[in-house]
Amino acid sequence: MTSVILGDIINSRKVVDAGEWLYPLKRLLEHYGKEPAVWTIERGDTFQLEVADPSTALKAALSIKSLIKSLEVNHLDVRLAIGIGKKSFQGSRISESNGEAFVNCGDAFEEMKQSKQNLAIKTPWQDLDREMNLILRLGSLVMDKWTASSAEVMYLQFIAEKKIGQKELTQLLHINQSSVSERLTRAHSDEITELEQYFRDRIKQKIEE
């Protein structure tokens, strides 16, 4: 089992200097492996990423979401489709690899564009898809409205290898603890973190069945 994320940057053409989002995104994608076997950015604003552990696919997607939303660039957002399944062929480029995860990712992306969602998933388990897509739609009501400051504090949490507390966030952001607390509250950090953990648990459960 593997997972694939397919995404595109919303309103990228309104940004005069594409480097404002392109270089930060590349630095984040490099965290998951080497280009082009693990990730690629193509046609300017479309990208693809393979996440070997499917249970962490949503965390990776939310890392990308929070990064893009944290940039001081008006109107930027990102559409993200997660596909989970088997991989039948490993190419030298991720765009050449194939299998169930890649097909599911493409299907989820097309369905998402038609339904005007910004985050969706397709797996081998239809019951899980129905459950998680409902939860992701509800979560997106919050995440799509993140301000840059709220998204920044969420990004720092998502890319951390272990749980990061408010004291450490104050040091990273160079602001006082009450400001950190306000940002976390506005971002609905507890609820989004719980959503990600629930996703992780459900995927592990399905794989083990």
Residue 115 has pLDDT above 90, yes or no: no
* pLDDT tens string 117-131: 899 999 999 999 999
Per cent of the chain over pLDDT 90 is 88
Q: At what angle do helices 57-70 and 126-143 cross, to 10 degrees?
A: 20
The rounded distance, in Å, linking the Cα atoms of 180 and 13 is: 32
Q: What is the pTM of this model?
A: 0.96
pLDDT at 158: 94
What's the pLDDT score for residue 25? 97
Bridge partners of 50, per DSSP, are 4
Is residue 156 within 8 Å of 163, Cβ to Cβ?
A: no
Residue 74 binned pLDDT confidence (cut-offs 50, 70, 90):
confident
The average pLDDT across 84-91 equals 96
